[in-house]
Amino acid sequence: MAKALPLRSEIDSKYKWQVEDIYESWDKWETDYRNVVINLKKFADFKGNLNDGKTLLECLQLRDELAEKLGKVFTFTSLKRDEDTSNTEHQNYYQKAESLYSQAMTATSFITPEILSLGEEKVTKLMEQEPKLKFYDFYLENILREAPHTLSIEEERLLSLSQELNNGPASVFGMFNNADIQFPLVTDENGEKVELSHGRYVKFLMSKDRRVRKEAFEAMYSTYEKFKNTLAANYSARIKGDIFYAKARKHNNSLDAALFPDNIPEAVYYNVVDTINKHIKSLHRYVSLKKKMLGLDKLHMYDVYTPLASNISMDIPYEEAKKMVLKGCEKLGDEYTSIMKKGLEEGWVDVYENKGKRSGAYSSGSYGTKPYILLNYDDTLNSTSTLAHELGHSIHSYLSQKNQPFTYSRYNIFAAEVASTVNEALLNDYLMKTNNDKEKRFYIINQYLEAIRGTVFRQSMFAEFELKAHELVEEGNPVTAEALQQLWIALNEKYFGPDAVIDEPISMEWARIPHFYRSYYVFKYVTGFSAATSIAEDILQDKPNAIENYMSFLKGGGSDYAMNLLKNAGVDMTEPDPIEKTIDVFNRLMDELEELI
């Protein structure tokens, strides 16, 4: 009989996060909440009056002051809600904070349009008039970048009204994929009939029983096949929406429009696709190796997720995991590891699962709070890697907040996964160097290879698909189900190579990827992983200034564009080098795996 999950109250306090450090009581929380509510009314006096240096400064300072306080208000309720989602009192407080956040967004929504209407010349004069505005130089520069893509007030109003229409395809897909789609029953390894679901699908694909893998694979995609024309029309509508907004805002194309907010040149996107294509034979080699180790004549699409080390596991208690992660990150130096020790011992981490606790893992906090970590630790290597990963995020946030003012403390999404993945790379290197047990080394290497395959090669294929699908529409071609299926098959053939059988049902895989409704997003997984691997390799090889440059990147927060901060850390994502270093690691891991066979 399965053991029941413990109640929140039954978890030892040393394994719980100390959120009381934010607010000792809900009364203290209410004080800050009311303070924000009252002060939001002050923005009405600033609206329409930002053409004076002193007034603009006061407005931006008030916005920062309230945003910092609101961050604490929101973070506290979010963490309290997630530690026990069945607690209705915490849910109510969270909804209250969420509503206040929405009110704050509305109250301050005039700031960016008014700054844009002033123009660069006027803003420069205001900074001369009020020298303290120089503090906001980068913030203002980032807003003024939007000027060539900002329309008249009436045109902006129409675009704003149409935004909900553009969100329609994503909403339709979400409802279809999460609520309406019905999957058939699949016979599992024990002969039991089990209903297929999104959650169970990968578990079935990792089954030792090939019949189960094949049956689940065919059941999944035959279900999507029934709706292929509707799904293609819906995705086509999403692409057309992207192109409409790109044209309306005078961008070169939909890719340019998507990358503009993060100030990323199109060359970065093309570099990902081109570099992976140039080294695609490394993935072909992995497919060939996997086919050989699984004892198969051909690797079918339903064999791709089959683990090479299915009979091996590593039992790692949490206290041991802490030691492993600390030892793995020792190369980063005393400053970094002392912060990590602080986080592990001073209530950053909520470790174990309890009844009602949110699933998964994340790092979350706000300016002036601890960068908290939610885990559901289960004594596995995967959980140990997750601890290293989330500590990477939290230490990035910690260093950013300690070294940057609130205005420039928040780092860009393009840089967000670098710190977390550096920690994982260092942990993997440590585990491989300190584990002489052949089976455990095999297990660790297999996990790392799969991470690179899934994050670098697979996401690059997704990025290439998005690019080609958008180009089809931009060139005036219809995006039919058949066109998308043919494109998907062609990409799979190119990526998996001659030792793989590209089974016909895989032609519908594009139809179940939710990220395609966040256009041109997935390439960031490739850049983040590659940048992190490049940094980790430089650190492990004792490259001069590698640690100092990396620490400067972590401390930089949002004080510059992510591309520039990464360049200062020795990583230029417009060049092939970071991706090629990652592929070198992939090849090296395959060499080691072959030696263990």
Q: Is the dihedral of CA 179, 182, 183, 185 positive or negative?
A: positive
Residue 162: pLDDT band with limits 50, 70, 90: confident
Q: What span, in angstroms and rounded, lies between the C-alpha atoms of 510 and 542?
A: 42
Per-residue tokens: 594: 């072959």
Give the pLDDT score at 408: 98
Instruction: Tell me the pLDDT of the chain averaged across its residues.
Output: 96
Give the pLDDT score at 1: 45
Q: Is the dihedral of CA 205, 209, 212, 217 positive or negative?
A: positive
Residue 275 CB neighbours (<10 A): 22
Give per-residue pLDDT as tens, 6-46. Answer: 999 999 999 999 999 999 999 999 999 999 999 999 999 99
Give per-residue pLDDT as tens, 527-548. Answer: 999 999 999 999 999 999 999 9
Give the pLDDT score at 152: 87
Give per-residue pLDDT as tens, 379-415. Answer: 999 999 999 999 999 999 999 999 999 999 999 989 9
pTM metric for this prediction: 0.94
C-beta separation of 361 from 390 below 8 A? yes
Per-residue tokens: 502: 């590209």
Give the pLDDT score at 3: 72
Q: What span, in angstroms and rounded, lies between the C-alpha atoms of 223 and 481?
A: 14
Give the pLDDT score at 2: 54
DSSP designation for 194: E
**What's the first-to-final CA gap in the chain, in angstroms?**
38
C-beta separation of 354 from 8 below 8 A? yes
| Residue closest to 564 by CA, chosen among 428, 414, 426, 452 | 414
Q: What span, in angstroms and rounded, lies between the C-alpha atoms of 372 and 391?
A: 9
Across 311-325, b (16+ Cβ under 10 Å) vs e yields ebebebebeebbebb
Give per-residue pLDDT as tens, 198-209. Answer: 989 999 999 999
Phi, psi of 225 (to 5 degrees): -55, -35
What secondary structure does DSSP assign to 98-157, as a single string? HHHHHHHHHHTTTHHHHHHHHHHHHHHHHHHHSGGGGGGHHHHHHHHTTGGG---HHHHH
Active-site pick, 58, 215, 390, 509: 390
| Residue closest to 566 by CA, chosen among 412, 392, 402 | 412
Give the pLDDT score at 143: 97
- Residue 390 a catalytic site member: yes
